[in-house]
Structure 1
């Protein structure tokens, strides 16, 4: 009996904290989310505006939603890096400086996301981590860009009835998305050595994690990603257990 108890107290396997080690294709990650995570047995909803979308990624706008920019992109769901790719990508040399093999067809060198994706396996794994990918209305994804999340207080919403606020390269997300955002940021921060939040951002994410508890759907989503990607999101798993979601 003592031996059995000892086994229960052992830490989780190392792979739990290694992040995505199985899929280095962003395209494949998006397809798995579409076909194996966001299924018809649960409502397909975008992270920020709570808009419905179907298996063809066609969006049904919630009443009162509007946008004056990226009109064509608004019609479909895009897969949003909640922690923007640039926020971890700029820590890779290939992103900052390029590489001798990052030459286009005209013989001109390039750097940034294209070069990091071409040359660095670890970058591709981070970019394809499904725990950090959520569906968003294309126009909202475009306007969010790589801006940091903050509280913008009394500013008006940027998309009509959708309470997403974007101003001066800062974003305040709607209340219903803050818990998911926080747990994505904390997961990336705890999992990948090449990503680190600022002290201010970390404090905000810890606060949102406490203020906005995990939902049943968030736990189902995490279980499906765990099965597909092969690594455990420790923070999410613990939050689901505390909330009684199995």
Structure 2
């Protein structure tokens, strides 16, 4: 009977932790990045796009053959990348598009965009800090990817030597090793936040990548850790992990 009660308590506790559909725990992008560094990636310091190692000081060891002509200084450290660009959901907030009375700098000049949404709107801050949407990336790759959406660019060459990340005409094609995680992140953000919606073509691509590049153990472990820290589940990843018996 005691074991049964303990099991029920464990289930209820986990359900309570995960009952919030969206991130309602971390509302600071800075805190989210530090939490990921210390409590999620502490034993798996590998970047999303190029599988580059990085240390506790965020110094990158790029893979053999990695090369970039731009943002060379930023190529030496990792940065935390919004896989679904902040602009994609940020522009749904009026503060991003039009500004707010509170968004005035020290010289009396009004501002809008990300800075204003972050200053004024709690909902935006939670979305921006959702750790399921944040991944480590070599700084130069993060900079050049910018806020571009993903697509297939079969005729383009890699912009980073041995790291097969292609960027052209404000579009990006990630390496195969990253596509499944990217797809499930887009699907998570759309299913979790009503403000965010993909285009039909983007959704078709993400659904295809989700099927073509299934979850692996690290993706499942990462989701478990973030759920425990952030308080909401990523049902997209969890369901795939359960199907693969990795949860």
TM-score higher than 0.5 here? Answer: yes
TM-score (norm 1): 0.93
Q: For the Cα contact (< 8 Å) 2:59–2:77, is it kept in 1?
A: yes
Corresponding position of 2:87: 86
Q: For the Cα contact (< 8 Å) 1:17–1:191, is it kept in 2?
A: no
Written as runs of structure 1 = structure 2, the 5 A alignment for 1:1-246 is 16=19, 18-40=21-43, 43-246=44-247
Q: 1:16 to 1:180 in 2, by over 3 A?
A: farther
Q: For the Cα contact (< 8 Å) 1:98–1:109, is it kept in 2?
A: yes
Return the alpha-carbon distance in structure 2 between the equivalents of residues 14 and 97 of structure 1.
36
Q: Secondary structure at the match of 1:166?
A: strand
Question: Considering only aligned residues, what root-mean-square deviation do their CA atoms show, in Å?
Answer: 1.4
Return the alpha-carbon distance in structure 1 between the equivalents of residues 65 and 152 of structure 2.
23
Task: Give runs of ≥4 in structure 1 deviating > 6 Å.
Answer: none
Gaps of 5+ in 2: 1-10
Q: Secondary structure at the match of 1:171?
A: strand
Task: Give the Å deviation of 1:27.
Answer: 0.4
- Give the aligned length: 234
Return the alpha-carbon distance in structure 1 between the equivalents of residues 245 and 53 of structure 2.
27
Residue by residue, what CA displacement relative to the aligned partner does 1:6-65 show, whole Å, maximum 9, x if unpaired?
A: xx9xxx77954621011101100000000000012xx31100001000111100010000
Return the alpha-carbon distance in structure 1 between the equivalents of residues 147 and 206 of structure 2.
16
Gaps of 5+ in 1: 1-7
Residue by residue, what CA displacement relative to the aligned partner does 1:149-187 show, whole Å, maximum 9, x if unpaired?
A: 000012100000000000010000000000000000000
Task: Give the Å deviation of 1:131.
Answer: 0.2
Task: Give the Å deviation of 1:244.
Answer: 1.0
Corresponding position of 2:5: none
Q: 1:16 to 1:205 in 2, by over 3 A?
A: farther
Return the alpha-carbon distance in structure 2 between the equivalents of residues 51 and 166 of structure 1.
19
